[in-house]
Amino acid sequence: MQTSDWQPVFILLVLVLAAIALLHAVAIAVCAVREPLRTGPFSGGLEPREHPLSRFHVRWYPVTMVFLAFDMEMLFMYPWTKVVSEVGPSAVIEMFLFLGVLLAGVGYAWREGAFRWS
Amino acid sequence: MTDPAPLWAVLALPAVLAGAAWAVASFDAVLGAGARAAWPGREALRLLVQQPRRTRAADVPLTRLGSTLLPVAAVLAAVVLPLGFRSVSDLPEGIVWFNAMEALAWAAVWLTGWGPNSTLSLIGGYRFLAQGLAYELPHMLAITTAALGAESLRVGDVVDAQAGLWFAVWMPAAFGIYLLSALAMSFWGPFDQPAGRDVAGGAAAELSGVDRIVFLSGRWLLFVVAAAFSVPLFLGGGHGPLLPGWAWTLLKTAVVLAFLVWARRRIPTVRMERYVELAWVVLTPLAVAQALVVAVVVLNR
Amino acid sequence: MELKSRLLRAATARPGVLLAVRPGATRERLFVEAELVRRGWPCAAGPASANLLVCVGEATTAEDDWAERLWLGIPAPKARVTASAVERAVEALDRGRADLLSGAHQHHVGRHEQTDGDLHRGHHEHQESPDPAPESGRHTHDDHNSHGSEHTNGSSAGAHQHGAHEGHASHEGHNGHAAHGMHGDHDMGVVAGLPMAARADDRDGLRLDRLHVPLGPVLADWPAGLVLRLELQGDVVQQAAVERIAAPITARPPFWNEPWLRASAGERVARGDAARRLCAAHLDSLGRFLAVAGWDDAAAEARHVRDRALAGVAATELTSSVVPLIRRIRRSRTLRWLTAGLGVLPSEHAHHLGVTGPALVADGDVHGRVLVWLDQIERSAGDCDAPGTLGAADVTGPRGRTDGANLPSQALLDVLPGLLEGAEFACARLIVASLDPDLDEFTWAAPPVRGPADD
């Protein structure tokens, strides 16, 4: 009946988007005032002096670097799970050596204080 | 492997998820005992009739994209969620698919926080990115560990592999880490800082009307889906004596959800600047060690 | 149409309430909070999810700029009421809901937008003048913000000389995306009437946008009437200046200090009543702190016990409900892990700044101050029915000595800027909550002998 595994996924995507659009339509029909309210941002009642959008102080920048290394590693780890017993002990040894190297990196980053930022 | 689900399941899935999210939100409100008793249905109706609201120089399409993305990601992730032994579509890389959809929440919360041009919502969005960096890696290692136990990325195979012993029994660390990350990815419970009250609702601070309904119900949906996914991954899916598979799935899911909702009341909100260190220094090595144990077991099977 | 109005009525049967508490209205706040819990009306954290703006306390004669802005930020259906006295609070809430149901305020919505539009137009004039002179434009805006607020701290003067701005202000169409102003040297670009943030050095030696944000006076679990003028880089507080919103001076003593003030004025005050008030005051602070820390369950319990204490339950009964709560908080390792090391205030420094209350006793961080509260709650709960009267020498209220040259909360406000510098936003909120200054103290008329510190 189904042409592919992905068919229901696409139907579902359309369905959910349609439901959300419908909700918006219902809201337009029943809302108290249709004209949007234009207002300033809330921070307790007073107005900010500048636009809040700003270059953010990304204090966890070193964490993103460590994260990226591991995220790349996951690309190998997902397919690896399927072939462990097929390939044998060498698969396990190689993967965990790799992970060990990365963990050593984590240890180094920790010692450098990358995970503490306040 | 079991036969594919009929097409009407596609229609049923969002309805079932919405019902479950509503039930969990109601349960949470009941435990709240009055103080913040915002009954979900009533609250949704209250928001539905609100006038649309735009903050100065807001990026409305971006905000709307963010708030819409959250329920979309939650429902699409649920495609691989089996009820009993049948899911809407048992994709061959179901676990990766779930991971990919759940990671969409990063974009969703950040866009929603950025869009309204408001300091507090910006802080909320920013907090979620830091949270993502903390929870995501142990989370990925935990779900790969389950996949490793079954040597397959198909959720159906993972459930089949637990016909005897549940994964939660022999990979308890991965299970615990998964539950933590289920809370963190739906920024709910002790990980609700991105939408915390101390920043007036954080990423949701400037949302009103339908945008708010969609965003907050998307969060509940994501919470339910993430918690429910622990059942096929670690709690044996539909396996169990006497009752049919679907009943076991529902029962186990309800227990996990009830536990998480109850546990939330015991602890304050976790701030990322403290949790990141724990996640990387304790949870990540723990998850790797768990994966190693499982890999050795798999080799000797 | 019939269906729509019925829906509106059902939707606003339990309105979302935005509480705007003015200084000097603690008694009313406690009453309204309990009443809202009883009615099951949710408390909104901001205007976006609110229907009903409840102003608690007497309005000043000066226009309340912030109250008006809050009102303008609430989307319809909406209503606004003032609960100026405990006796009239229930009636005010009922009236608020009736207004919502009848849609009384709805036809005003257009007018409010007009007002907001006027504000915008004002800014556009700045933008379109041939020589934009961002300096003067900003000052005008500053002055506008300062309406109804008084400086208590000179440090915000530094805020005026921030950032090196380029000679030209880049003109963006005011409908253009704000983000465009973010790149390159367009720091002072004016978008929709407001400039973008300018850059300044941060605590880690980077040059990043420095944002000036007034925080308060109306936030969930926030000391009523407190305004912090923050300079934020990302969510790190670079500098903080403390202000208070204007409030009418009354002859009514501040609620939490009342027993001690009465006693030192020569009245006979039962020792038990003072202990009860102290217990409730700390429970109130504790509830607020726990709510800021995101532990809603414990916060709700603390507030519940607080209301019971004020309702006058017997000491033994109060102790039996206080003890489990305190044990739970004391034992929470997560809370200790999350709050230890934040906002450290050594006692020499505290003493130097005139702090005399729990913050001085704690001699440490946020968690230490909470533990001092817990000790005092436990002790005072047992003393609630103690015989005897308060002597003239008993002057230590919940926040410190009530007979000093300085108000106890003035010292706490003086401590704040130093503690907040370099803290991130969530920590800053925890630090404020762990000191919990009571701005009611400033609304009390000076008795002839000694007066509150003048600003």
pLDDT digits (tens, 9 = 90+) for B17-61: 999 999 998 888 888 755 455 578 888 888 998 889 999 888 899
User: B50 phi and psi, to 5 degrees?
Assistant: -70, 145
pLDDT at C295: 92
Confidence of residue C112 (pLDDT cuts 50, 70, 90): very low
Nearest CB to A41; choose among B5, B55, B90: B55
pLDDT tens-digit profile of C143-193?
343 343 444 333 333 333 333 333 333 333 333 333 333 443 444 567 767
Could you tell me which residues come within 8 angstroms of residue B55 by beta carbon, excluding any fewer than 6 positions away? A39, A40, A41, B116, B117, B118, B206
Residues in C 119-178 with any Cβ partner in B closer than 8 A: 120, 174, 177-178
User: What ipTM does the predicted assembly reach?
Assistant: 0.92
- Residue A5 domain flag: no
* A80 occurs within a structural domain: yes
Cis ω on the peptide bond leading into residue C130 (within 30° of 0)? no
Least confident of B113-122, C108-117, C402-411: C108-117
The whole model's pTM is what? 0.86
* CB contact (8 A) between residue C66 and residue A38: no
Tokens 């007002």 found at: C115
Task: Name the residue in chain A with its Cα closest to that of B284.
Answer: A103
The tokens for B291 are 């994966």
Mean pLDDT along residues A4-27: 92
pLDDT tens readout for residues C379-401: 999 888 888 888 777 788 898 88
Residue C209 pLDDT exceeds 90? no
**Exposed (0-12), middle (13-18) or buried (19+): which is C343, by Cβ within 10 Å?**
buried
- Name the residue with tokens 């990919």: B100
With CB atoms and an 8 Å threshold, state whether B52 touches A99: no
What is the average pLDDT across A72-78? 89
**Length in residues, chain B:** 301
Comparing B86 with B138, which gets the higher pLDDT? B138
Tally the domains of chain A.
1
- Alpha-carbon distance C295 to C281, whole Å? 19
Strands (E), chain B: 53-55
pLDDT at C199 over 50: yes
C-facing residues of A in 45-84 (CB < 8 A) are 45-59
Q: Residue A81 sits in which domain range?
A: 61-111
Q: What does residue C397 show for φ and ψ, rounded to 5 degrees?
A: -85, -170
Domains annotated for chain C, with CATH where assigned, are 2-110 (3.40.50.12280), 255-443 (1.10.645.10)
* CA-derived radius of gyration, chain A: 25
**A41 falls within a domain:** no
Where is pLDDT greater, at C444 or A79?
Answer: A79
A47 in any annotated domain: no
Spell out the residues 6+ positions from residue B140 whose beta carbon is closer than 8 angstroms to its own.
A74, A77, B99
C168-181 confidence digits (pLDDT tens): 333 333 333 333 33
Do the strands C198-201 and C194-195 form a parallel or antiparallel pair, or are they unpaired?
Answer: unpaired
User: Mapping DSSP to helix (H, G, I), strand (E, B) and coil, where does residue C213 land?
Assistant: strand
Q: Tokens 């594919």: give the residue.
A: B4
Question: Is A35 part of any domain?
Answer: no
Give the pLDDT confidence score for residue C161 in this predicted structure: 35
**Closest chain C C-alpha to A63 CA, distance in angstroms:** 16
Average pLDDT over all residues of chain C: 78
Tell me if B120 and A43 make a contact (CB, 8 A cut-off): yes
Question: pLDDT tier at C357 (50, 70, 90 boundaries)?
Answer: confident
- In this prediction, residue C63 has a pLDDT band, given cuts at 50, 70 and 90, of low
Tell me B43's DSSP state.
H
